[in-house]
Structure 1
Amino acid sequence: MTTTLNTFEASWNEWHAERESYYSDPLGWVSLTGLYWLTEEFENIGDLPGRWRADEDFVYIDGLAVDKIEPIEGAPGILVEDGDRRIEVIRRTGSVALRVHDPKSPHLESFTGIPAYTPDEKWSVTGTFAPYPEAKIVTTGAVVEGLEHHHTAVGVIDFELGGEKQQFVAFGGKEGGLRVLFTDATSGVTTYPAARTLVVTDPDENGSVSLDFNRASNLPCSFTDYATCPVAPAENKLTVAVEAGEKDPRPASAS
């Protein structure tokens, strides 16, 4: 029993350390210092070099070696070098924005890690996945007003938590597997209000899956005002307080 517990805690500690390392990247999410939406007219954007404009297909830059970029809707941004900084060009819901990654960001300098609940095996539960006959698109809002996210929903997961029956709509993961976006009774209290995400194990031949809420993860928008993350679908609002996984790194009481 002790060996099992130690293995569980060691595995969680390794996962948590990897999460903190990811967010402390000098050009990662916490290094963001701005989000600027482009128009169809050339403009100077903050202290960035050149002038920028966008239409429905391309981004045009006047004054840089790169003069035209084609960002793809919903895809990872295209990076333009600016000394130590990186200008990330993204397209979201038809509009184009620039995000600035700066290794000298004051947000990065003050980053001290990701607060989290103490891991507890009681928050690791088994569920049953039932696939849809065909995948369908579920549209959610975003933390930026006016934006939308379109997710490929592949089925539902039924499970029990806190003595109550629960159900998630499950999305297909980018690299296979399942993932969910959810809120619960801690959202907006001790955890980030818009959503947390959870990677779910692949179902076995009987549809059984494992949901380890100790690894409920923050989205990038919990760390920065310059992300465009989705909010959780209404179907994935749990009726219990999931006191497990990552906490809000910027709680309202601290702002």
Structure 2
Amino acid sequence: MPRLALTPNEMWAALTGIAGHVPVPLTGADWIELLPSRRCAISDEGIRFEHRTYDGPALNGHRHRSTAADGKWEVHHNPYEPWQCWVRLPHGWEQVSWIHQSLVSRPFTDTTWRHIRSVVTRRADRAEHEEHLARHLDELLRRAHAADTGISDADSSPPAISARILDTAARPGTTKPGKNDQPAQSRRKAQAEHTKQRNTNTDLPGHLAGQVPDAGEDSDTTPDIADSATPAAAWNIFDAHQEAQQW
């Protein structure tokens, strides 16, 4: 039937009825391959896109060393887990974490992050603005979880709630000072510690790169989230490698 117009699914069904098929389970690497991808450079600061910076020991030795014509690397990311990404290095995929994950107490999606970016005005350089976004994101997630919004039933839709919360949080002088409000000197110290740890822990495997310190560790950059933070294990919404073992 050479002149019969068929959809790809109809073609597949017709061919399967003749030749059959062998089902092959997907691996964890196959799942990463199917995620949205982009081309990114690996700089001294790490990988940056969507106003987020990803860094870890796995990137050491590959900064500014791409052999591609555009000088960039293939990076895959999950919109439902934007606090991590995967970069294709010469030896395979490596998972890299967002450098400000420790400032956010709960999991979030790319949609929430884009909303934060749209309502928080930039008043500092790129690095400080990213930290500022992370802190406002944490405030939004905390207040949404506690349902402490003070919004009437007539104005209780999720977009209205987040807009009201962020409008309050973005106004100067409305955020209560706390442990997360670091002076510039402390911020520079935290960045120096991050660089030191990145350069000294080169023997760590890629899946341990950039993990959040335990709550008991002495860290000036870890927020006080013991009362309302989600356990670290709950951040992994879907473990492709673990799921592949069950297929």
TM-score computed with the length of structure 2 as normaliser = 0.21
Q: Larger Rg: 1 or 2? A: 2
Higher normalized contact order (CA 8 Å, seq sep 6+, divided by chain length): 2
TM-score computed with the length of structure 1 as normaliser = 0.20
In terms of fraction of residues, the more helix-rich structure is: 2
In terms of fraction of residues, the more strand-rich structure is: 1
